[in-house]
């Protein structure tokens, strides 16, 4: 039977080629693929490598798009990428390879007897070999109201567009499902300006990929970004609006009801087997295939999420690409290669947070666990051992050694000699035969580097050597390694460095792009704002040709800071470009309540202030009050709805925010100084109050802490502060760029001065220099390390006129510019703060 002419919707295939074609027409066997997703197209890519002229190929895709990277749908939703940027194979690729592509055409019938594929619009194409790559369909909870407008799944571009459109006109979103897809959807909708609640039936997030500790850490991090979670919640019904057409709320079995203008179902997927079943192809929780990826009908193959192999359906990309390689081998009639299943690891980047798990990470009877847990540093590692072999592991925050652990697991190596160092990673574990080398150099060639695309180290090294690649971008374009979730980018860079040695020069950190929205670094952006007199985020993004018009969660806060610090009297602070803590004027806690810290100038207080705190604690039933390390009182456990009322009460008592949540001046810690102490040489309390009042309302690249000690005994710990002041007999010594955080950094001596006014001038000049030149989220210690202490001394100590100008600019910036907290609490803005959604 001859194939019908391609329809107008198809990209025409090239004619068969042969040196005998003019005399003896050659008819290639016809391969038809149903499904135009990642697994299917990877099969075609592998087939074209080893047998480029073997088939006339026709592809049917139900969507109106060429093959795109579904992994990157979440950056599209978040506004960080566009559809064009996630396309894997554009229309030209199909045409160049002689593939007839039918887009937006759903195949509804397979006639196995006549070997025909029939589409919904009647398009009919014969096949000699058929490849089913129909993927999966999202599961929709069978609850009342699941067909209402505003209730969608999250699976493709159409779903993504629907969410983007809903975010423009609606406020409340509920995402049902706390898996990877649900969390990415929630994050994207939050960045689009919606209030998002994630509903999850499990006891913690990502329970299939993380243990409870890692899941709780992830939840806490996401709550800090403004997401709300309801765990172990069972949805009873979706409630319609008054018109009965659109969803307005979600009701749970315990009676709780929350508002919802948009409900996103992300509760799992099911292999799409309907077409195969209608054709009589054996299915059992997927299209059943053999080790050669053949179905019950040997002319029909299947790959991807629609497949059940040895009773397992895989949803991760790496196993699907392994299937693709074996399937292509048999389609090419090479007759070798078997797919025997996959040992999977999960290396994810959830909203920028690195996660890794592999094997039996939950452990249990007969296993042992090695655990490293640093909550403050955001790092957690758990390795599970059995019979001196690594059988599983889970990591949060620091996943650099994930590929090495995964290789140990797959190889079944005995690790008893490395046991005491195993948790610290490959470089410290002293891996046999690899001492002294970095983790990339020590990896075997068949070790997987990019789990999303199934790329091994050997593939990357071969591409670098054969094609003369020198940069990360070149390697990414050639091999696709690090081109999906990006979690393997650091490892890929190590491989480039170890392969080409001195020829590799990584981009300087200050030249790296701020985020995926732009190719410009922080320094270039600051310079453009200053030189072009740009006063709004929209103006910056337009002038610098931002790739995404609205920016993302990384660049929006940075741009907002750069604008208000450069043009304090012209640029308007954008609350939506601030993190939830700054918008709520409180620190969100792990249980969803908030921590409120009123300011106590220099650590001093009065009976009236203490009475106001006690009254607030009683009035709002605050469960915990704690004296902080910054000499203030923290009210812990405040309910979200009580925040505006509590802050209004404090304002009425004359108390302002301590900005314990802000990238701003936090505290000025003091000792009692010469006012009371017999060792004191200077009035440290008075000096501390002067500094704190001078700096109140100062926003900065990161949090800033000061301390004033009245004598060299340094009871206020001034030696580990961003600015430390130590009283001596003849005046004060000033120290800068200290840090008492996870890695303690001792402050460096800046200058010795004689008077209180000089302390204010020098300290103010240093902080203004940091405000003008520091990159967003760069602490003073890292700023000084980057520019050098000698440079700071030249600008602040040696250049007297320059110092006075810096100090004057700081005072001018803070003069007559209301702090956002004051704007909302005092005067005409009082009502606006009382009703703010936090």
Neighbouring-strand partners of residue 247: 240
- Residue ranges for the binding site for [4Fe-4S] cluster? 671, 677, 711, 715
Q: Are 182 and 264 in contact (CB under 8 A)?
A: yes
Average pLDDT of the chain is 86
| Residues 671 and 775 placed together within one structural domain of the fold | yes
Each residue's pLDDT tens digit, 17-59: 444 344 445 578 999 999 999 999 999 999 998 899 999 999 9
The verdict on 33 and 57 lying in the same domain is: yes
Domain boundary among 290, 314, 331: 331
The tens digit of pLDDT for each residue in 97-144 reads 999 999 999 999 999 999 999 999 999 999 999 999 999 999 999 999
Q: What is the average per-residue pLDDT within 819-825?
A: 46
Q: Count the neighbouring beta carbons within 10 Å of the beta carbon of residue 489.
A: 16
CATH label of the domain that carries residue 487:
1.10.10
Whether 313 and 277 have beta carbons less than 8 Å apart is answered as no
Query: Does the pLDDT at position 90 exceed 60?
Result: yes
282 shares its domain with 260: no
pLDDT at 455: 86
**Same structural domain for residues 247 and 156?**
yes
Q: For 456, how many CA atoms within 13 A lie in the half-sphere containing its CB?
A: 11
Tell me how far apart the alpha carbons of residues 361 and 343 are, in angstroms, rounded to a whole number. 13
pLDDT at 525: 93
430 confidence band (pLDDT: 50, 70, 90): low
CA gap 61, 37 in Å, rounded: 8
User: Binning pLDDT at 50, 70 and 90, where does residue 831 land?
Assistant: very low
- pLDDT of 81 > 90? The answer is no
Give the model's pLDDT for residue 772.
94
First to last CA, the chain: 67
- Evaluate if residue 236 carries a pLDDT over 50: yes
> What is the per-residue pLDDT for 828?
31
What number is the average pLDDT over the span 772-781? 91
Model confidence at 581, pLDDT cuts 50, 70, 90, reads confident
Are the C-beta atoms of 796 and 769 separated by less than 8 Å? yes
pLDDT at 96: 94
Enter the pTM of the model: 0.56
The pLDDT score that the predictor gives to residue 20 is: 39
Residues 207 and 295 in one domain: no
Number of other CB atoms surrounding residue 532 within 10 Å: 12
CA angle 301, 303, 308 (to 5 degrees): 95
* pLDDT for residue 815: 82
**What is the Cα–Cα distance from 547 to 542, expressed in whole angstroms?**
9
How far CA 134 is from CA of 66, 94, 309, in Å, comes to 15, 19, 15
Domain count, the chain: 5
Kindly state whether residue 777 falls inside one of the protein's structural domains: yes
Q: What are the DSSP calls for 190-215, one per residue? A: HHTT-EEEEEESSSSTTTTTS-HHHH
> What pLDDT is stored for residue 816 in this prediction?
63
Give the rounded percent of residues in the chain with a pLDDT score beyond 70.
88
Q: How far apart are CA 800 and CA 837, in angstroms?
A: 47
Q: Is the pLDDT of residue 363 over 90?
A: no
Q: What per-residue confidence (pLDDT) applies to 671?
A: 95
Query: How many CB atoms are located within 10 Å of the residue 122 CB?
Result: 9
- Last residue in a domain, options 545, 577, 609: 577
The top-scoring range by mean pLDDT among 380-384, 497-501, 653-657 is 380-384
Amino acid 742: pLDDT: 56
Predicted confidence at residue 823, as pLDDT, reads: 47
pLDDT digits (tens, 9 = 90+) for 264-323: 999 989 999 999 999 999 999 999 999 999 999 999 999 999 999 999 998 877 788 889
Q: Could you list the residue range(s) of the whole structural domain that residue 78 is in?
A: 10-136+271-331
- Could you give the angle at the alpha carbon of 101 between the alpha carbons of 95 and 105, nearest 5°? 160
Q: Which parts are annotated binding residues?
A: 671, 677, 711, 715
Residues 673 and 795 in one domain: yes
Of 219, 243, 267, which one is at a domain's C-terminal end? Answer: 267
- In this prediction, residue 567 carries a pLDDT of 93
488 and 571 inside one domain: no
Q: Is residue 568 part of a domain?
A: yes
Q: What is the pLDDT, as a whole number, of residue 819?
A: 47
Cβ neighbourhood burial of 130 (10 Å; 0-12, 13-18, 19+):
buried
**Total residue count of the chain as it appears in this document:** 838
Half-sphere exposure of 315 (CA within 13 A, CB side): 16
List, in order, residues 6 or more apart from 800 with CB less than 8 Å away.
Answer: none
**Rounded Cα–Cα distance for residues 684 and 603 (Å):** 11
Any domain includes 319: yes
| C-beta of residue 111 within 8 angstroms of C-beta of residue 68 | no
Measured CA to CA, the distance from residue 286 to residue 307 in angstroms comes to: 5
Alpha-carbon gap, residue 28 to 331, rounded angstroms: 13
167 shares a domain with 92:
no
pLDDT value for 300: 98
More confident position, 649 or 506? 649
What is the pLDDT, as a whole number, of residue 199? 97
Least confident of 337-351, 381-395, 551-565: 337-351
pLDDT given at position 549: 78
Beta strand residue intervals within 319-444, DSSP E: 345-350, 353-359, 368-374, 379-386, 389-396
pLDDT tens-digit profile of 587-627?
888 777 889 999 999 999 999 999 999 999 999 999 999 99
Q: What is the pLDDT of residue 315?
A: 82
The predicted structure's pLDDT at residue 347: 65
The band of 350, judged by pLDDT with boundaries at 50, 70 and 90, is low
Distance, in Å, from the CA atom of 24 to the CA atom of 62, rounded to the nearest integer, reads 37
**Do 110 and 255 fall within a single domain?**
no
* Whether residue 251 is found in the same domain as residue 294: no
In a 13 Å sphere around the CA of 175, the CA atoms on its Cβ side amount to 27
Residue positions forming the annotated binding site for siroheme: 715
Tell whether 670 and 809 lie within a shared domain: yes
Look up the CATH number of the domain holding residue 735.
3.30.413.10
Residue 824 pLDDT class (50, 70, 90 cuts): very low
CATH number at residue 240: 3.50.50.60
In a domain, 782, yes or no: yes
DSSP string covering 598-624? B--GGG---HHHHHHHHHHHHHTT--E
Query: Is there a domain that residue 638 lies in?
Result: no
Burial readout 215-237 (b: 16 or more C-beta within 10 A, e: otherwise): bbbbbbbbbbbbbbbbbebebbb
The answer to whether residue 676 is domain-embedded is: yes
Q: Which residue has the tokens 């068969």?
A: 16
pLDDT tops 70 at residue 506: no
Q: Are residues 670 and 780 in the same domain?
A: yes
The sign of the torsion formed by the CA atoms of 639, 643, 648, 653 equals: positive
Single out the residue of 109, 68, 396 nearest to residue 281, CA to CA.
109
Report the alpha-carbon distance of residue 738 to residue 640 in Å, rounded.
34
């Amino acid at each position: 039977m001859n194939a019908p002419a391609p329809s107008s919707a198809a990209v025409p295939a090239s004619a068969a080629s042969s040196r005998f074609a003019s005399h003896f027409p050659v008819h290639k066997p016809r391969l038809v693929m149903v499904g135009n997703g990642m697994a299917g197209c990877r099969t075609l890519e592998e087939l074209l490598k080893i047998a480029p002229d073997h088939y006339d190929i026709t592809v049917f895709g139900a969507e109106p798009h060429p093959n795109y990277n579904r992994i990157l749908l979440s950056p599209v939703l978040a506004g960080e990428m566009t559809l064009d940027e996630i396309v894997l194979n554009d229309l030209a690729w199909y045409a160049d390879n002689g593939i007839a592509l039918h887009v937006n055409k759903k195949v509804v019938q397979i006639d196995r007897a006549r070997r025909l594929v029939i589409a919904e619009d009647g398009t009919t194409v014969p096949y000699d070999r058929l490849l089913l790559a129909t993927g999966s369909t999202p599961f929709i909870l069978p609850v009342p109201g699941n067909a209402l407008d505003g209730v969608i799944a999250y699976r493709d571009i159409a779903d993504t567009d629907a969410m983007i459109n809903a975010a423009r006109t609606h406020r409340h979103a509920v995402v049902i499902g706390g898996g990877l897809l649900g969390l990415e959807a929630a994050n994207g909708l939050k960045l689009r300006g919606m209030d998002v609640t994630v509903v999850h039936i499990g006891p913690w997030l990502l329970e299939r990929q993380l243990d409870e500790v890692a899941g709780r850490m992830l939840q806490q991090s996401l709550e800090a970004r403004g997401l709300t979670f309801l765990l172990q919640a069972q949805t009873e019904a979706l409630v319609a609006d008054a018109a009965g057409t659109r969803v307005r709320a979600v009701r749970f079995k315990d009676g709780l009801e929350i508002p919802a203008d948009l409900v996103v179902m992300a509760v799992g997927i099911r292999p799409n087997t309907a077409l195969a079943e209608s054709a009589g192809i054996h299915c059992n929780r997927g299209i059943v295939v053999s080790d050669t990826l053949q179905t019950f009908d040997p002319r029909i193959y299947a790959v991807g999420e629609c497949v059940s192999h040895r009773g397992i359906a895989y949803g991760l990309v790496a196993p699907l690409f392994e299937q693709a390689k074996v399937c292509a081998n048999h389609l090419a009639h090479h007759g070798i290669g078997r797919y025997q299943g996959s040992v999977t690891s999960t290396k994810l980047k959830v909203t920028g947070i690195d996660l890794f798990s592999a094997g039996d990470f939950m452990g249990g009877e007969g296993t042992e666990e090695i655990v490293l847990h640093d909550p403050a540093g955001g790092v957690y590692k758990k390795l599970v051992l059995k019979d001196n072999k690594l059988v599983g592991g889970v990591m949060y925050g620091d996943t650099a050694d994930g590929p090495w652990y995964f290789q140990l697991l797959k190889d079944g190596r005995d690790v008893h000699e490395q046991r005491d160092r195993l948790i610290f990673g490959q470089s410290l574990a002293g891996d046999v035969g690899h001492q002294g080398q970095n983790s990339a150099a020590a990896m075997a060639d068949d070790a997987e580097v990019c789990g999303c695309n199934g790329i091994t180290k050997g593939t990357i090294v071969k591409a670098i050597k054969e094609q003369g690649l020198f940069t990360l971008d070149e390697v990414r374009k050639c091999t696709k390694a690090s081109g999906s979730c990006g979690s393997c980018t650091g490892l890929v860079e190590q491989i480039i460095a170890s392969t080409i040695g001195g020829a590799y020069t990584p981009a300087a950190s200050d030249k790296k792009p701020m985020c995926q929205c732009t190719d410009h670094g922080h320094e270039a952006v600051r310079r453009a704002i200053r030189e072009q007199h740009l006063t709004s985020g929209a103006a910056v993004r337009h002038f610098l040709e931002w790739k995404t018009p609205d920016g993302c969660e990384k660049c929006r806060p940075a741009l907002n800071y750069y604008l208000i610090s450069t043009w304090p009297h012209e640029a308007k602070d954008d609350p939506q470009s601030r993190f939830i803590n700054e918008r709520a004027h409180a620190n969100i806690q792990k249980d969803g309540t908030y921590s409120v810290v009123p300011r106590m100038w220099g650590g001093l207080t009065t009976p009236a202030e203490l009475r106001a705190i006690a009254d607030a604690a009683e009035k709002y039933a605050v469960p915990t009050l704690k004296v902080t390390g910054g000499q203030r009182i923290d009210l812990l456990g405040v309910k979200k709805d009580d925040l505006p009322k509590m802050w209004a009460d404090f304002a009425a008592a004359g108390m302002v925010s301590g900005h314990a949540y802000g990238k701003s001046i936090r505290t000025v810690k003091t000792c009692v100084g010469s006012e009371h102490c017999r060792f004191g040489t200077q009035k440290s309390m008075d000096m501390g109050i002067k500094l704190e009042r001078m700096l109140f309302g100062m926003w900065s690249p990161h949090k800033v802490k000061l301390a004033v000690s009245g004598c060299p005994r340094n009871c206020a710990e001034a030696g580990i502060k961003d600015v430390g002041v130590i009283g001596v007999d003849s005046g004060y010594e000033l120290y800068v760029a200290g840090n008492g955080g996870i890695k303690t950094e001792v402050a460096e001596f800046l200058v010795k001065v004689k008077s209180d006014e000089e302390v204010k001038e020098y300290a103010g000049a240093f902080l203004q220099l940091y405000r003008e030149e520091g990159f967003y989220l760069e602490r003073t210690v890292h700023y000084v390390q980057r520019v050098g202490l000698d440079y700071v001394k030249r600008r602040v100590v040696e250049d007297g006129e320059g110092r006075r100008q810096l100090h004057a600019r700081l005072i001018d910036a803070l003069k007559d510019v209301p702090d956002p907290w004051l704007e909302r609490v005092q005067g005409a803005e009082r009502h606006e703060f009382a009703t703010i959604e936090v």
